[in-house]
Structure 1
Amino acid sequence: MTLLIVEDEDIIRKGLIVTLRKLEMDFEHIYEAGDGEEGLRLCREHAPDIIMTDIKMPLMDGLTFIRESQKLLPEGQFIILSGYSDFEYARTALQYGVKDYLLKPSTKNEIKEVLTRVIGQLKEQRSLRLELTERIHTYEKKLDRFQELLLGNILSGRYPAGEIGHFLSHYSIAFPEEYMAVVCLKITPVVSSDGSSIDYKNHFLWIVSLFEPYAAVYQADILSVYKCLLFNFSRL
């Protein structure tokens, strides 16, 4: 977890860093910038997870900095550092998706409370994203197997012609329209000299890799004896 502090007043910026170290917040790196332009440069170079920024700064104000840095870090978590007189600016910033704000000066407990809340939200987002990625990966693996089974049944003539289109659409199979080829290879069990069975999986994967640049390739097993590869050249 990394943090960027964008604050033009050195004493406040340095004080925040000292406070965070005393609080032992779990940041691998803490970067600091004295204005929005420097802050943008650090966003490009280090992609910090959390950004704390002042509102009123020279060269580039905090609201402009937030808008520009969000283009670089769409998932960045922003915290506003605001004086009492800048509260209207802070409220506007909240409309930009800023997660929280701290009034200056803030106590150690206030800083810890806000950062702990934002860190928790960030971890939750990442956990949900990881869970979604794993679900998609599991679905893709199951889809590949369903496609193999379905094509095997179609090539074996187990489905009436009128039902084939529905199944193909449901399992996202682009069935050949014009140019197609079906290669069926008979699987003959062979035992190597050391007594172990030979796995032909890599042989099929090698054949698939040769044709993938030129066609959509689907695999199917028929009666556990034949391995069929269907090449759809019309989908290029």
Structure 2
Amino acid sequence: MKTLMRLCRLPALLLTGLCLMGTAAMAEPAPSASGSPANSVAKPYGSGWDCDKGFRETDGACASIDLPKNSHLTGGAYGAGWECNYGFDRAGAGCAAVTVPANAHLDGSGTRWDCDRGFARDGQRCLAIKVPANGYLTNSNYGDGWACERGFRPERGLCLKIVLPKNAYLTDSASGPGWACERGHAPKANACAKIVLPKFAHLNSSGDGWQCDRPYRQAGGACVAP
């Protein structure tokens, strides 16, 4: 390089072309000894190179990634090379803050929101859930957001007391009357009727009916010999 500068001090008419070539060579970034471009590193195995973090391969060179406000580098080889910070979402070529309404919070992704417990989503707002007497809040995002206490059943937005007939017990089913008959009894209207066993019969496994002893077979309401 010193030799080139000394040559450039000679008469301009003699070495004009040489000086211009040398100046152009000084202005261009020289590749590394391995042949990889600036801001890159050789692959640990085989040949080739990868751009440093914060740079992306473009036409054989490593160009700096334009990082918008409220974002961070991903280090991935695909995509834009960046993603929005928690609480921000992609908006065009930038990141916009996620608008969280009152009585709501950001979800795990940081790009959406959920209503707080005790509130239900209504468009872009969260409204308080009205829990009736003898009811309680649930953690479900579906339905009314509340359920009735044991011994009560939902009807028209209320929790009505279940009238338990004799020989019956409460169930946890959300459908039906909210009760079932004890073993040996069967539902009849709003009561539990005792099951009358014919001769040579016994209660079935569920206890709400009967079947014939072996080898007898059912014939109407009786058990007859085969």
- Higher RCO, Cα 8 Å, sep 6+: 1
TM over 0.5: no
The structure with the largest strand share of the pair is 2
Structure with max Cα Rg: 2
Shorter-chain TM-score bucket reads under 0.3
So what's the TM-score if we normalise by structure 2?
A: 0.22
